[in-house]
Amino acid sequence: MTSKNYHSESWKSLLKVRDDLLQKTGTIDVAKTVLQSCVRNGKFSLSLAYEQLRDKERTVRWGKTVWNRAVLPKHSVIMTLALQGKLATVDHLNKKGMMIVNRCVLCKAALESHSHLFFKCPYSATLWQSLMLWMKVLGRTNSLKQEIAWISNRHARRHWKTSWYLGCMHTLVYCLWEERNFRIFRGSEHDVAYLLRRVQYIVCVRLFHVSYASEEKEFLDYLNA
């Protein structure tokens, strides 16, 4: 059967899944074998069928670092897009044919790009350096990908300091992108001191939410040392 215009959307979707399966397997006999492998205890498993049909991409090293319980999910989304270079920065939009004047709205001095925003822009670099001083971390770079690679190597160490670092980095990336959009679409802007306090507040609230009482005390003692 082929898909017709008068068919329901559900039926069209089923026919498309069938066509995708045949395209992946090549023959009806192989397709039947694949479907039979999705049966568990006499019942057809949709989750197993989904795993058979979906395109499996290469696992990135920073996956578990970005999607971490110490980080708010919406912050992880923006971080993922930033690392993949898929945020709608001006240089990205220009490549798609949109004629937009390219100027960073944060520093008003350079071209806007992912590498500039995170963290080569003087505005974002000052914030990141201030957060590192707050965390008492010295000698770090101003490259988002290098920072993610550095913390990914230490991700196995489940410690409140790792959660603190991850929270600061993710929250800053989210707040920078939010501040950038506020300036473009709302015409409002905030100084470095305001954004620094906001990031610190969000990070502390999240860290206290996911950590144990002993870790909270150690964290506060570390801040007051």
Q: How far apart are CA 171 and CA 130, in angstroms?
A: 14
Digit-coded pLDDT (tens) for 203-224 = 999 988 888 777 888 888 888 8
pLDDT at 30: 87
pLDDT of 156 > 60? The answer is: no
pLDDT of 162 > 90? The answer is: no
Mean model confidence pLDDT for the chain: 88
- pLDDT bin (cut points 50, 70, 90) of residue 158 is low
Q: How far apart are CA 176 and CA 192, in angstroms?
A: 10
**How far does Cα 197 stand from its chain's mean position?**
22
pLDDT of 139 > 70? The answer is: no
Q: What percent of the chain has pLDDT over 70?
A: 96
**Amino acid, res. 105:** V
Rounded (10°) angle between helices 144-152 and 73-84: 120
Please answer whether residues 198 and 168 qualify as being in contact, where contact means their C-beta atoms are separated by less than 8 angstroms. Answer: no
Q: How far apart are CA 175 and CA 78, in angstroms?
A: 10
Q: How far apart are CA 211 and CA 116, in angstroms?
A: 33
Rounded (10°) angle between helices 9-25 and 28-36: 110
- Average of pLDDT values for 163-172? 93
Please answer whether residues 184 and 105 qualify as being in contact, where contact means their C-beta atoms are separated by less than 8 angstroms. Answer: yes
**How far does Cα 35 stand from its chain's mean position?**
34
- Average of pLDDT values for 11-26? 86
Q: Using omega within 30 degrees of 0 as the cis cutoff, is the peptide bond preceding 119 cis?
A: yes
pLDDT at 124: 95
Please answer whether residues 94 and 102 qualify as being in contact, where contact means their C-beta atoms are separated by less than 8 angstroms. Answer: yes
Q: Measuring CA to CA, which residue among 131, 126, 225 is closest to residue 170? A: 131
94, 96, 112, 180 from 105: Cα distances, Å: 16, 20, 8, 6
The model scores a pTM over 0.85:
no
Digit-coded pLDDT (tens) for 93-135 = 998 888 889 999 999 999 999 999 999 999 999 999 999 999 9
